[in-house]
Amino acid sequence: MVGLKDTTEENSNGESTLSQNIKQNIDRIYKSSILNTLKLYNNNNNNNNNNNNNNNTTSTTTNTNNNKTSIDDNGEDESKRIKLYSKIKDEYEPVKDLPMVAPQQRKPAATAKQTSTPTTTSTESKPTIEEMEIDKSIDNIIKSLPKQDEKRRKIEDDKSSQITIYNKTNTDDINNRTLINQYEPLTYTKPEWHPPWKLMRVISGHTGWVRAIAVDKSNEWFATGSTDNTIKVWDLASGELKVTLTGHVSAIRGLEVSSRHPYLFSVGEDNKVLCWDLESNKQVRNYYGHRQGVYSVALHPTLDVLFSGGRDNCVRVWDMRTRANIFEMKGHKGTILSLKSQNADPQVISGSMDTTVKLWDLATGTSAATLTNHKKGVRSMVIHEKEYSFATGAADNIKQWKCPDGSFIKNLSGHNSIINAMALNADNVLVSGGDNGSISFWDWKTGYCFQKTQSIVQPGSLEGEAGIFDMAFDKTGSRLITCEADKTIKFYKEDEDATPYTHPVVDWKPKNNDRY
């Protein structure tokens, strides 16, 4: 019995050593297959690199082809690395994770076949240095390969940084990670509809060019000044002449009616600034100081201050009551043809033949800003009473500005003439009158010209006398009064029969679609 036990133990030990040897052989086979695969991969890479170098040296036609081939090679290398990773993982992972076999004690062999051979030890043989280096190299290769999660994340990052090109036919969302400057199309505001204006009445009485006009705040009468050295006061409703004032010895270039006093102020080419009492129809004050002709005049709406400007290139500030010259504001280099005043800053705005517009600080009597956008002399000016803005007219175009700093808003182009006069009513209708008798009607907000007309000279006058020198709306804004070179005064009113259907707003979009 003892002999049988010994033989069974020897048989079991022999089987264990045999299975252990088989496992070791399998492990070596797996490792050798992995090394062979790695060598083949390196050889393929070397061959590809050599081919690429040869192709680069021989083919020097264009850079774009080289870029394309390098991109394709990188893609092939990346796919080979993924295939190698999957193959190594499938073949080597079960071998790598096998449990360690416990060392067996040394026992003699029991079979007859082994009697002639020396007994083998059951202990596991120690790995050689080459096998250890092989194991480390394989482990380093596996660790260096990217994991699936990292690879997926890298692919997503590449997609996120990709440049997408806008395609009009593409229905996908084009707002996701695009490098194209996407902008919305320009939108234009449709102008408000305004009825056209037509000639209502023509009155005459002056024997010279009618150069200036002023409307009373009561809207009952208006006054005109002419080159016949007279000022005539007319009834606004009937157009009848009420009174004629004489006192100037040269052409009258500007008129202004006070809204707080019964005074009328006039300036002329005789260097005079006169004040008229409308209750007695007499001259009551004379403001001395200008050394040359005075072409423009303005009144402060709330203060007893008078402004005048002319050929001496300066704006003079007068005290209405004491006739004292408060300021002599210098800065212009040309004749001052237009002056306007308002309550808010800038309280004084002047336009000159030197193509500049100046905004004045009334507290210090100095220039606060100078606008140099115009290329021609600024002959006319108008202030919007509600929008805190103003417009200037010259031979180049009409420009809108924003108070108080005088920032530019837009151009109103299309009136190809020397603009001598402008007027604005409460319905945002801006009217400009040219030196050739042309009249343009504009929408203030959009700058759309909804009507153009030509003044008709009275019988017996030349066609060259169809010039407009000054214009003004009455206090209701329903009547437009123009002073013209044919010695007449014309009234215009809105067409009562016009509707948006008979006179629609057409061609209101700008023809030039440039964005810059």
pLDDT digits (tens, 9 = 90+) for 481-491: 999 999 999 99
Radius of gyration from C-alpha coordinates of the chain: 50
Count Cβ neighbours within 10 Å for each residue of 89-114 and write b for 16 or more, e otherwise.
eeebeeebeeeeeeeeeebebbeeee
Q: pTM, whole model, 2 decimals?
A: 0.64
| 87 falls within a domain | no
CA distances for 237 relative to 222, 258, 290, 476, angstroms: 10, 21, 37, 12
**CA 75, CA 158: separation in Å to the nearest integer?**
13
| 133 falls within a domain | no
331: Cβ–Cβ under 8 A, 6 or more apart, which residues? 314, 358, 367, 370
Please report where in the chains the tokens 């180049």 appear, as a residue: 396
Please report where in the chains the tokens 């202030």 appear, as a residue: 383
User: 463 φ, ψ to 5°?
Assistant: -65, -30
| 39 falls within a domain | no
Bridge partners, 317 (sequence order): 307, 327
Count Cβ neighbours within 10 Å for each residue of 31-49 and write b for 16 or more, e otherwise.
beebeeeeeebeeeeeeee
Q: Looking at residue 138, what is its pLDDT?
A: 66
Q: Looking at residue 22, what is its pLDDT?
A: 73
Range of the domain at 407: 197-494
User: 490 φ, ψ to 5°?
Assistant: -115, 145
Looking at the 3D structure of the chain, how many domains does it have?
Answer: 1
| 433 falls within a domain | yes
* Helices 63-96 and 2-58, packing angle to 10 deg: 180
| 66 falls within a domain | no
501-507, Cβ contacts within 8 angstroms, sequence gap of 24 or more = 503/195, 503/196, 504/193, 505/190, 505/191, 505/193, 505/448, 505/450
DSSP string, 137-171: HHHHHHHHSPPHHHHHHHHHHHHHT------TT--
Cβ-based burial of 301 (10 A; exposed 0-12, middle 13-18, buried ≥19): middle
DSSP string, 456-506: PPPTTS-GGG--EEEEEE-TTSSEEEEEETTSEEEEEEE-TT--TTTS---
Q: Which of 426, 385, 379 is nearest to 399 (CA)?
A: 379
Q: Looking at residue 167, what is its pLDDT?
A: 42
Q: Looking at residue 165, what is its pLDDT?
A: 41
Q: Which of 201, 20, 202 is nearest to 104 (CA)?
A: 20
Q: Looking at residue 170, what is its pLDDT?
A: 44
Query: pLDDT digits over 35-47, tens only?
Result: 777 777 676 666 6
| 515 falls within a domain | no
CATH of the domain at 366: 2.130.10.10
| 139 falls within a domain | no
Per-residue pLDDT tens digits of the chain, which is 516 residues long: 444 444 444 455 555 666 677 777 777 776 777 777 777 767 666 666 555 555 554 444 445 445 544 555 566 677 777 777 777 777 666 665 555 544 444 444 444 444 444 444 444 455 566 566 666 666 666 666 555 555 555 555 554 444 444 444 444 444 444 444 444 555 678 889 999 999 999 999 999 999 999 999 999 999 999 999 999 999 999 999 999 999 999 999 999 999 999 999 999 999 999 999 999 999 999 999 999 999 999 999 999 999 999 999 999 999 999 999 999 999 999 999 999 999 999 999 999 999 999 999 999 999 999 999 999 999 999 999 899 999 999 999 999 999 999 999 999 999 999 999 999 999 999 999 999 999 999 999 999 999 999 999 988 888 888 999 999 999 999 999 999 999 999 999 999 999 999 998 887 776 654 443
| 484 falls within a domain | yes
